[in-house]
């Protein structure tokens, strides 16, 4: 196996595991569109990273966090319906990102790489970012897990039982921003949400507890990465879309298999 394929596989599986474990909450909390909005805003982070001459990943995390906090604030003002608000933020931040990137085109940002990902260009440094960030993300997720599940089930009930809802939500937003920064390299901005949602959806019918579903989602995501990568090498497919197609196929297979019967 050539090095670049190994790097792609190792990096991709790392991202898929983190995305599976995070993605279940995106599905349970109906945050798919919110995830999309954050992913769209990531391009602006790339541009800002280049313009300021800082690490692009830091630019992405910064912009995603700003958008997430802005979203929480605007929602509390209750001027607009949530999906309208997300639509405004998603499209204006993507457009702003594209405009900003054109300013730094002298630096030859490969736009397609950011939009659709380029897993075959993963370097050992990227793998370091993925596994470093991934370990932190999974650690924080494990620490937040109980409270996050509790507020997903019922926010007010969790709060009256002593869960610090605001702290938990802010911590989760931060994780979310980190995950998107990590995932962009692999599948690209436009397909990030797919890898958060599709493996989680595929895991649903085989899971009896929230934890099982997170583990199965991580496995389904890793399988999608391996299969997509294989397809990409065999038939010279664009790697990001190939991974998403593989995830969709895994989902289709999952709904035809018999579900686990509940006890």
Partner 1 sequence: MPNHSLPRGEVLVQGAGIGVRHGRRTILQDVDFEVQRGEIVTLIGPNGSGKTTLVRTLLELESPETGTVKRKTGIRVGYTPQQLSIDRTLPLDVRRFLEMTGETEAEKLTAMLEDVGAPRLLNQEIRLLSGGEQKRVLLARALLRDPDLLILDEPTANVDVDGQIEFYDLIRRIRNERNCGILLVSHDLHLVMSATDRVVCLNGHVCCSGLPGDVSTDPAYLELFGEAASAVAVYAHDHDHHHA
Q: How far apart are CA 224 and CA 244, in angstroms?
A: 7
Is position 72 an interface residue for partner 1 (rule: CB under 8 A)?
no
Instruction: Tell whether residue 160 is a contact of partner 1 (CB under 8 A).
Output: yes
- Given the rule CB under 8 A, which of 3-11, 203-211, 226-234, 243-251 is the region that contacts partner 1? 203-211
Which CB, 15 or 201, lies closer to partner 1? 201
When the beta carbons of 27 and 101 are compared against partner 1, the nearer one is 27
Using CA atoms of 57, 61, 63, 65 in order, give the dihedral in degrees to the nearest 10. 180
Residue in 64, 195, 200, 242 binding partner 1, rule: CB under 8 A:
200
Q: Does 156 bind partner 1 (CB under 8 A)?
A: yes
- Cα 155 to Cα 144, 169, 181, 217: the distances in Å are 14, 11, 28, 24
Residue 32 token pair: 């798919």
Distances (CA, A) of 125 to 62, 70, 81, 130, 138: 20, 31, 42, 9, 20
- Distance (Å, rounded) from C-alpha 115 to C-alpha 101? 12
Does residue 212 belong to the site contacting partner 1 (CB under 8 A)? yes
Q: Report the candidate in 177, 200, 154 with the shortest Cα–Cα distance to residue 24.
A: 200
Tokens matching residue 63: 């912009």
Q: Count residues near partner 1 (CB under 8 A).
A: 28
* Least distance between partner 1 and beta carbon 105 (Å): 42
Cα gap 212→155, rounded to integer Å: 22
**Residue 76 binds to partner 1 (criterion: CB under 8 A):** no
The reply to whether 238 sits near partner 1 by the rule CB under 8 A is no
Length of the chain: 263
- Residue from 66, 92, 152, 174 that binds partner 1 (CB under 8 A)? 152
Binding-residue pattern over the window 23 to 52 for partner 1, x denoting contact by CB under 8 A = ----xxxx----------------------
User: Which span (90-98, 118-126, 155-163, 187-195) binds partner 1, by CB under 8 A?
Assistant: 155-163
The Cα 51–Cα 76 span in angstroms is 32
Which of 113/212 has CB closer to partner 1? 212
> Are the C-beta atoms of 63 and 48 separated by less than 8 Å?
yes
Applying CB under 8 A, among 6, 88, 146, 166 the residue interacting with partner 1 is: 146
Candidates 14-22, 118-126, 144-152, 226-234; binding stretch for partner 1 (CB under 8 A): 144-152
Residue numbers of the site for partner 1 (CB under 8 A)?
27-30, 78, 146, 149-150, 152-154, 156-161, 200-201, 204, 207-210, 212-213, 262-263
């Amino acid at each position: 196996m050539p090095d670049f394929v190994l790097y792609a596989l190792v990096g991709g599986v790392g991202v898929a595991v983190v995305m599976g474990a995070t993605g279940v909450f995106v599905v349970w909390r109906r945050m798919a569109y919110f995830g999309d909005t954050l992913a769209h805003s990531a391009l602006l982070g790339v541009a800002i990273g280049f313009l300021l001459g800082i690490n692009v990943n830091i630019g992405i995390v910064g912009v995603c966090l700003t958008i997430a906090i802005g979203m929480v604030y605007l929602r509390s003002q209750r001027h607009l319906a949530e999906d309208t608000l997300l639509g405004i933020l998603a499209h204006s931040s993507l457009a702003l990102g594209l405009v900003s990137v054109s300013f730094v085109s002298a630096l030859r940002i490969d736009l397609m790489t950011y939009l659709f990902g380029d897993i075959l260009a993963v370097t050992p440094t990227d793998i370091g970012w993925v596994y470093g960030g991934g370990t932190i993300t999974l650690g924080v997720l494990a620490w937040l897990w109980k409270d996050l599940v509790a507020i997903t089930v019922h926010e007010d009930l969790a709060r009256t039982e002593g869960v610090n809802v605001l702290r938990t939500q802010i911590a989760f937003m931060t994780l979310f921003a980190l995950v998107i920064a990590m995932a962009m390299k692999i599948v690209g901005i436009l397909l990030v949400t797919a890898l958060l949602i599709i493996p989680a959806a595929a895991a649903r019918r085989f899971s009896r507890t929230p934890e099982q579903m997170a583990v199965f989602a991580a496995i389904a995501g890793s399988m999608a990465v391996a299969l997509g990568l294989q397809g990409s090498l065999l038939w010279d497919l664009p790697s990001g879309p190939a991974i998403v197609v593989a995830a969709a196929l895994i989902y289709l297979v999952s709904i035809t298999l018999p579900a686990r019967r509940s006890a």
